[in-house]
Structure formats: structure tokens, C-alpha cells
Amino acid sequence: MTELVLLLGCSLASILLSGLVSCLETVAMLADEFKVRSLVQKTPLSPFKLRMIKAVTDRRDQHMAGAMILQVVIGVVSNSTIGILAFNLFAGYAMAIYMGLSIYANIVFARSLPKVLARAYFETVLVNLAWLMRLVFFITYPAVMATTVWIKLLKLDRKRALRMSELKNIVSFYQEKGVIGHFEENIFQNALLLQQVLVKDIKPSRGMVSVDSTTLLSDLEPQIAGRHDTYFVIHDQEGIMGVVSARDAAMGVMSNRQATAQDVARPVALVDEEITIIDALVTLREGKCSRLLVTRNGMPLGVLSAKTIYKRIFQAEQAKAAA
């Protein structure tokens, strides 16, 4: 009787553990940037949960590999233990019946059902069990590194970008389902249109003067006069710290002649001319700045303001409306 209870207990524990790990594996597989960004924006999260979710998303392949490795370990250990116990208890038809029930229970409750539940309750599981996914990752870290080295060797770790055709198909699908109305469709159409506009298609301010951060604004007066489209690129020992337009520099001189360039410098983000203006706006928002220093192969070309980008967007919308 004791051996039977032990067998059933081990079988139940194996199914529950395997089901939980299978659930974590599925969530890691589904945790792409689009789903996670939507989750973070609409759900209030504690700093700890936000940190755990971000860590899982940034190393999604490794966390998925960790869950798979733990799944294999649990399977090998439990099958060996349960097999020995079952062999000592059953024989003949009883053994066949037990094996059949065990296979069915593992397929349904340790594999299939957990994956379906993880997909249905993806956000809830990710928010509440991201810490457990991190724990599994750390426990299996050596094996994960030995496994995921092949991902880097085969160059499978590159982030996949959503193709334009795929985005159009998504819009069409949800429009047919009635989820997207006319207003939302226009938003997506504008996004598709603007996704084709690159930063290099917008003419940045070509006039640039490199200035040390400790330079007095009053010393720049000769260079300010008659250069309304010029930007002063402010730098210190660590590199570029910001930019200031000739107009802002002139106003700074008028308000305080002892002010230095770093006193009026505005934060700037560096972007390549080949990125889209949508990506440029995202960079502005993430960098909390209103100016972009446009580069080509790392060499500065000019300065682009958020105002100029928005004007280009409005022009695209007006052109679309006129058509």
C-alpha cells in the first residue's frame, strides 16, 4: 500500500511540475516585443515585476531553453523513478493499463493543456510567474549556455522585424472581423505610409559648428549672426552632450552673457539616416529629447528637430486627404 501511495504521489508530482514548466516554456515562446510592449503600456506593474518581464523578453530564447532543459530533466528523473516503482507493483495487464493511463495523463495534463492555458492567459502568467522563469533560467544556466551557443553560431538570434505585407494582412484581417473601424484603419494606413519615409528623405539642418561645453555664449556672437539654420553641437570630454540652435544661443546671450554652451544645450539622440521617421520618433521619445543628430556611417550630417518630423507627417496626411 505504501509503495502504491508513493507511486501515485510521484506520478502526480511529475505531471504537475512538467505542466508548470511546459506553461513557462510556452509563455517564453510567446513573449515577443509587440505583446510585451502592449502589456506594459496597459497594465500597472511594480518595479520588480517590470524588471522581471523585461529580463525575460530581452533573453527570450535563453529562458525558453532553460524551461525545455528542466522539462527534460524532470522527465528523465520521474520516468526512471516511476518506472521502477511501477515495475515492482504491477505485472501483465495491470502494468499495461497503468502505462496507458500515465501516457494519457502526461499528454493532456503535462503537455497539451498547460500550453493551451498559457496561450489563453499569457499576460496573467507572464506578470505573475516571470520571476519563476528567471529562477529556472539561473538554475539551468550552464546547460542553457551550452545549448544556445548554437543559436549564435547559426545567427538565429537576430530580432525579426515585422514586414509591411504582414502588417497590411493584420489590418485587413481585423477589419474583416469588425475589430478595426474606419478611424483605426486610417491610423494604420498613415503608419504604413510613414513607415516608408526615411530620415534621409527629410532635409536636416546642414549648418553645424562644434563647440566646447565651457564656451561662453557671448563668444559665439560672431557665428550666430546671419546663421538662423545653424546648430552648435556641444561636446565635453565624454563626447556629444547636446545641441543648441543659433536662435536659442542668441536668446541665451540676451538673457545672460556669462552663460556657457552647456547651460543652454538640449539633449540630442544620434540616429542613422536610413531609419524610418517612425523609428526616429520612438528614439526621440525614449531619449526624452527634441533633437536628432543625423549620421551616415557614424559621421554627422545635420540636426533634425521633432517639429520638422511632425511637419513631414502632417504633409503626408494632407497629401493622402487630397488624393
Q: What is residue 20's predicted lDDT score, i.e. its pLDDT? A: 92
| Higher pLDDT, residue 102 or 309 | 102
CA 146 to chain centre: 25
Q: Answer with the one of 124, 153, 182 that is the final residue of a domain.
A: 153
- Residue 10: is its pLDDT beyond 90? no
39 and 97 share a domain?
Answer: yes
- Residue 304's pLDDT band, with cuts at 50, 70 and 90, is confident
pLDDT digits (tens, 9 = 90+) for 260-274: 888 888 888 888 888
Angle of helix 277-287 relative to helix 182-194, nearest 10 degrees? Answer: 90
180 and 133 within one domain: no
pLDDT score recorded for residue 188: 56
Proportion of the chain above pLDDT 90, given as a percent: 7
State residue 221's pLDDT score.
Answer: 77
Domain that holds residue 238: 199-322
Mean pLDDT of 123-142: 90
Classify residue 314: in a domain, yes or no.
Answer: yes
Crossing angle of helices 60-89 and 47-58, rounded to 10°: 90
pLDDT of 135 higher than 90:
yes
Q: Are residues 145 and 233 in the same domain?
A: no
CB within 8 A of 147, min separation 6: which ones? Answer: 65, 69
pLDDT of the residue at 319: 59
194 pLDDT above the threshold of 90 = no
Whether residue 257 is predicted with pLDDT greater than 90 in this model: the reply is no
Give the pLDDT confidence score for residue 234 in this predicted structure. Answer: 86
Which of 56-65, 144-153, 211-220 has the weakest average pLDDT?
144-153
Q: Is 300 helix (H, G, I), strand (E, B) or coil?
A: strand
Place of cell 484603419: 185
Residue 177, pLDDT above cutoff 60:
no
The answer to whether residues 108 and 146 belong to one domain is yes
132 pLDDT band (50/70/90 cuts)? very high
Is the domain of 133 the same as that of 6?
yes
Q: Classify residue 199 by burial, with Cβ atoms within 10 Å: 0-12, 13-18, 19+.
A: buried
Residues 254 and 182 in one domain: no
104 and 51 together in one domain: yes
Quote the pLDDT of residue 291. 85
Q: Tell me whether residue 158 is in a domain.
A: no
Q: How many residues does the chain have?
A: 323
The CB density around residue 301, as the number of other CB atoms within 10 Å, is: 18
Pair 27, 135 in one domain: yes
For residue 65, is pLDDT > 80?
A: yes
Q: What is the pLDDT of residue 320?
A: 56
C-alpha 229/C-alpha 208 separation (Å) is: 9
Span of 166-180, 214-228, 279-293 with lowest mean pLDDT: 166-180
Domain membership of residue 134 (yes or no) is yes
Same domain, 25 and 71: yes
Tell me the mean pLDDT in the region 160-184.
56
Q: What is the reported pLDDT for 296?
A: 83
**pLDDT given for residue 90 in this prediction:** 82
User: Per-residue pLDDT averaged across 176-185, rounded?
Assistant: 55
CATH number at residue 251: 3.10.580.10
In the predicted structure, residue 239 carries a pLDDT above the cut 90? no
- Measured CA to CA, the distance from residue 146 to residue 307 in angstroms comes to 49
Q: Which three cell numbers stand for residue 202?
A: 527629410
> What's the domain count of the chain?
3
Helix (H) / strand (E) containing 191: helix 182-194
Clarify whether residues 182 and 206 are in a common domain: no
220 belongs to a structural domain: yes
Q: Are residues 7 and 148 in the same domain?
A: yes
Better-scored residue on pLDDT, 96 or 22? 22
Q: Name the band, by pLDDT with cuts 50, 70 and 90, for residue 180.
A: low
Pick from 260, 279, 261: which is nearest to 269 by CA? 279
| 255 and 143 part of one domain | no
